[in-house]
Structures are given as structure tokens and as C-alpha cells.
Amino acid sequence: VQLQAFGGGLVQAGGSLSISCAASGRTFSGYVVGWFRQAPEKEREFVAHISATDTVYADSVKGRFTVSISNAKNTATLQMNSLKPEDTAAYYCAAGLYLTTSDKQYTYWGQGTLVTVSS
């Protein structure tokens, strides 16, 4: 599976932004799709993941971010609302077989897309 993330950009605090992840090579069917982020000089951290049966969010984004998958478009989307400066990071999509918040369990990765939230 090849993944490509897109849609990052600059947004003011309190604003919204949507980033997406397109899959090619095969569909997302049967995979867990995860979103992670990495801020400068920080470890990569879990944001959310979605499968056919479950959706999980990190506490830091719960209630503000929503993850979804369009099987028709073979695209996963992370809708981010009420953005805060601390949400600034490179965001990565990933696909794997396990419902896990550990980035080590994801097999396929897209390139990062940068989200910058200004105060």
C-alpha cells in the first residue's frame, strides 16, 4: 500500500483544517488507518486511528479531531477543529493490521504533511 498525505497548511488558532491520506496499490479495507504527528524536537505521537469496528483518539485531540474513511475514494481524512498552537506538527498517516497506538505496529506510512497553527 502506498500512502500519500496532503492538505496541510497554516491556520490561526481556533480555526479548522482537513488533511487527507490517499491509498494506492490496494484499498484500506482490512487495515487500521492511523494518524500520528511529530512536532520539532519531539517524539512522534499517536493522534487517532480508525478501523471497521473502532475509532480511537488521543486525549489531546478528543472532541476536536475527527477521523474518517471514504471507501469510495480510498481516502482517509483527519478533520481538525479548534486548532491550538500546540497542534503544530508534521502529520503522518499510516496503515497496519493492529488496533494500536504504537507507531511501531504500522507497516505503511505516508510522507508527512505540515500543519502550522499560529497564535
Cα gap 57→34, rounded to integer Å = 10
Q: Phi, psi (5° rounding) for residue 85? A: -55, -35
pLDDT value at residue 9: 97
pLDDT (tens digit per residue) in 45-67: 999 999 988 999 999 999 999 99
Confidence of residue 91 (pLDDT cuts 50, 70, 90): very high
pLDDT value at residue 26: 87
pLDDT (tens digit per residue) in 95-117: 999 999 999 999 999 999 999 99
Mean predicted confidence (pLDDT) in 15-42: 94
Mean predicted confidence (pLDDT) in 30-57: 95
Cα gap 58→78, rounded to integer Å = 13
Residue that is written with C-alpha cell 504504537 in the block: 102
pLDDT value at residue 65: 98
- Percent helix, percent strand, percent coil in the chain, to nearest 5: 5, 55, 40
Query: One-letter amino acid identity for 30?
Result: G
What is the share, in percent, of the chain residues with pLDDT greater than 70? 100
pLDDT value at residue 34: 97
CA within 13 Å, CB half, 19: 29
Q: How far is CA 81 from CA 3, 26, 61, 74, 78, in A?
A: 23, 30, 9, 23, 10
